[in-house]
Amino acid sequence: MMGSSEKIEQARQDYIESLAETMEMYGLSPSMGRLFGIMFFHDEPMTLDEMRGLTGMSKTSMSTGVRALSRLKLVHKKWQKGVRKDLYEAEHDQFRSFVDFFSQLWEKEIELNQKTLKKAEKNLTNLLNDPELTPDEKEQVESDLSKLEQAQLYYTWLEKLAHSFESGEIFKHVPIPNQKE
Amino acid sequence: MMGSSEKIEQARQDYIESLAETMEMYGLSPSMGRLFGIMFFHDEPMTLDEMRGLTGMSKTSMSTGVRALSRLKLVHKKWQKGVRKDLYEAEHDQFRSFVDFFSQLWEKEIELNQKTLKKAEKNLTNLLNDPELTPDEKEQVESDLSKLEQAQLYYTWLEKLAHSFESGEIFKHVPIPNQKE
DNA sequence: CTGTTCGTACAGAAAAAACTGTACAAAATT
DNA sequence: AATTTTGTACAGTTTTTTCTGTACGAACAG
């Protein structure tokens, strides 16, 4: 038979594990997910050493893990007077975490691919003027160009979507439901 | 100096590599990304052996890779009369790929976490009636419950968002721009 | 029925990622 | 100024993932 404290702990652990699995789907490592889960339930901002204590992992891992989570804005550094150690807490607003996470991801995709896309488009367009181009090759180039043009359209749209997430406009179109569902 | 064909090939390769990097961000392996890129440019549906030829990888890898891409609906099996081998082609509609990919991901997150969430909620709620609960523990339970309630709100919202993607409703709110931007 | 061809399961090898302990620089404390 | 505390860089180890080759069953062809 479990005592009350153990039951509380068990419920937490179960949900944390579930959260971690989810975050794994999104490309984070399981331990980073678990770390986030722990911070999600921890009411006070945490130090690296506390994290080490609760995860049982090395301080180095905590340091890198929490920095990765910070970059994704899932976790924030929080300053407290009189405390020398760095303090971190999980972002309380899950909606914010969500929209930030995906808009960041998509912005990165856009930046990365659009650069390459433009360059490829330019090279191919130049090639169209090359007199040595065989008819077959020309057709090939045109086919590729039309694919890239289509892709460009997609990136333009994605940019708009990312903005809509970042700005919170998305919540106008898909509103947050009332407390009582 | 490069011939025309090499230049075409180079432009493709560059973009493919870029695509692959993006897909890596989304948790796919680089080679799966590259495979998708190749199929993106390949006009005809491809057989496993053609893929093997173009990627230089084993047929086993092609088989598993293409099946993973199929599950994500980034690639489709296509039947052609008289052809015995399985044929696959990349989904032409990038918008569809995108919304399918993310709504699938989110639905999975919801299913996975909501189950655990409900169970944890139930256990904690039961615990509230336990006479052995110390005041501290009670506070703890209530704090956890309120976090879970908040999370539930998030899943309810996410479900709506996923539907909006799946159904294409999202395109009403964030319209696809015109061909000529 | 016999011999091919095709896709995939599976075990092991190769490659990549995650994790740890040590070492050290920066900042704070004495 | 000397000492302690704190976070991170880095090298090496462990764990996980990815990839390959062999083997085999199913579908087809002769």
Q: Cα separations (Å) of A6 from A13, A161, B110, B151?
A: 10, 44, 26, 22
Please, are residues A74 and A97 in contact by the beta-carbon 8 Å criterion?
yes
Please, are residues A135 and A94 in contact by the beta-carbon 8 Å criterion?
no
Q: Which of B12, B2, B4, B154 is nearest to A181 (CA)?
A: B154
Give the pLDDT score at B180. 58
> Are A137 and B27 within 8 A, CB to CB?
no
Instruction: Tell me the pLDDT band of A16, cut-offs 50, 70 and 90.
Output: very high
CA distance B48 to B130: 61
Query: Among A5, A44, A94, which would you mutate to test the B interface (most chain B Cβ atoms within 10 Å of its Cβ)?
Result: A94
Q: Is the pLDDT of residue B181 over 60?
A: no
Q: What is the pLDDT averaged over residues A18-44?
A: 96
A177 touches chain B (CB under 8 A): yes
Neighbouring residues of A96: CB distance < 8 A, sequence distance ≥ 6: A73
Min CA distance, A9 vs chain B (Å)? 10
Cβ within 7 A of any strand D atom: A 47-49, 59-60, 63-64, 66-67, 84-86; B 29-32, 56-58, 60-61, 64-65, 84
Chain B, 87 to 126: residues with Cβ < 8 Å from chain A are 94-95, 98, 102, 105, 108-109, 112-113, 115-117, 119-120, 123-124
Burial class (CB in 10 A: 0-12, 13-18, 19+), B135: exposed
Question: B129-172 pLDDT, tens per residue?
Answer: 988 889 999 999 999 999 999 999 999 999 999 999 999 999 99
Give the pLDDT score at A35. 98
What fold characterizes domain B4-90?
Arc Repressor Mutant, subunit A (1.10.10)
Question: B44-71 pLDDT, tens per residue?
Answer: 999 999 999 999 999 999 999 999 999 9
Question: Which structure tokens are listed for B175?
Answer: 């319209």
What residue spans define the domains of chain A? Answer: 4-90, 94-173
Question: B79-118 pLDDT, tens per residue?
Answer: 998 999 999 999 999 999 999 999 999 999 999 999 999 9
